[in-house]
Structure 1
């Protein structure tokens, strides 16, 4: 008996439609640049513009607040580390929440596992993330700020971040089919979430009582891992790993809940769309 018979249904469906997923990802990536003079440069222009603006506005104010950082690029690296994680998350969630609505015609006419569509959306944003990450890593190498082997400390945080993204994305995508205000709510929620996370500012500028509460923000945990590795070239402390483990457990529960809501409402989607 083939090994694939033992795989859960969802994994088996993904493997069976892997060519469709890969082709759709490639087509959506090409569509980003079609008819554009600058082409792939637009993947970099927006995050670079954000980094430039925040650096110009906050660099002089925040540079002295980064304890133990002597590099002239210290604040820029701190900012890039947080924005690297945030841009991937925000772009992925933005695409995921609209994935079923945006592909309504395809869902009505074609028969395929709907789980393929969120994977396509995540594949496109993963490509953009890899491009931006490559540029950032090149900058660290050229500027003499390469963190060394501790860079592997980012991977667990990235994996849990993707888990959260899928969980929230599946939940938002399903609910958005029936309540179209979800897309606007997600955008507003991301705006507040961004400023509640120590990305532009270090956590040290917060009042002592607020610093403790900040750990309840899952994205603050992700960003802390990125910042410890890229800014301080060290692995996060034990308490940060414990916090990441707790966030991972919540992420698993969130992903399970998002999947259950999707399964329950999937039969009604075509009619609603």
Structure 2
């Protein structure tokens, strides 16, 4: 672990320049540029709001605002987009950088760090836009909303653990890249993002609460939508999972790293 941290610190300039380069590669040739970071999720919100607002608006409790459903959606998607982006990009990170890995000697752990850093910046831009929209909707911004910053770090840590394991496995079992998007869709629809948890029958809520993504989205909803205190039980559950998964993910990464070059 200490060796990985020392490697990251010695390559900190490379990590920063790679994050900047990633932005340039993704947006410099686009007329809309960085706006695509927020246009895609906002389009997603508009589609769901247009289709489901009439059905769900009356079921969103505790929001006295005619844009209540859109507000609820934005908060949930803010957490989900960060999680899904990190998992999806980490799953492909070693395969997408196969030429670099085979030709250049460097600590490969910097590749996942670059992905997480880029995703956090993308999510921060979406968070700023979301705050502006809330102000336009006439929804009050409370001090609790600032706690989304450490919540985003927790989402990133959990997603990084899951994504790193999937990224290593994907090098050796390419079916992973086909299976994971399906699983992400299942997790998305079994997480109260486009619907409130109160519509789920009581007998099934216990099963949904086993999902760490459920708790992460719940943290965002409580802090952003309802301005409630930090749900420590939800946070503790995810923190424990991260503390268990992180050493396992790093162990798998270190054991598989020497063989990755041959397989890639």
Asked if TM exceeds 0.5, the reply is yes
Deviates more, 1:163-172 or 1:197-206: 163-172
1:165 is aligned to 2:159: yes
2:220 to 226, 230, 236: 226
Q: What does the per-residue CA deviation read over 1:161-211, in whole Å, with 9 as the maximum and x for residues that have no partner?
A: 111111111101111111111111111110100000000000000101112
1:218–1:247 contact (8 Å) kept in structure 2: yes
* CA drift at 1:156: 4.2
Deviates more, 1:57-66 or 1:208-217: 208-217
Aligned-CA RMSD value: 1.5
* CA drift at 1:141: 3.0
Partner of 1:129: 123
Structure 1 alignment gaps of length 5 or more: 1-6
For 1:177-256, list aligned pairs within 5 A: 177-236=171-230, 240-256=231-247
Give SS of 1:98's match: helix
1:97–1:183 contact (8 Å) kept in structure 2: yes
2:82–2:156 contact (8 Å) kept in structure 1: no
Tell me, in whole angstroms, the C-alpha distance in 2 between the residues paired with 1:177 and 1:211: 36
* CA drift at 1:38: 1.8
2:86–2:116 contact (8 Å) kept in structure 1: yes
* CA drift at 1:157: 3.0
1:261 is aligned to 2:261: no
Tell me, in whole angstroms, the C-alpha distance in 2 between the residues paired with 1:68 and 1:166: 33
* CA drift at 1:43: 1.4
TM-score of the two chains, using structure 2 as the length reference: 0.95
1:167–1:254 contact (8 Å) kept in structure 2: yes
1:73 to 63, 67, 74: 67
Partner of 1:91: 85
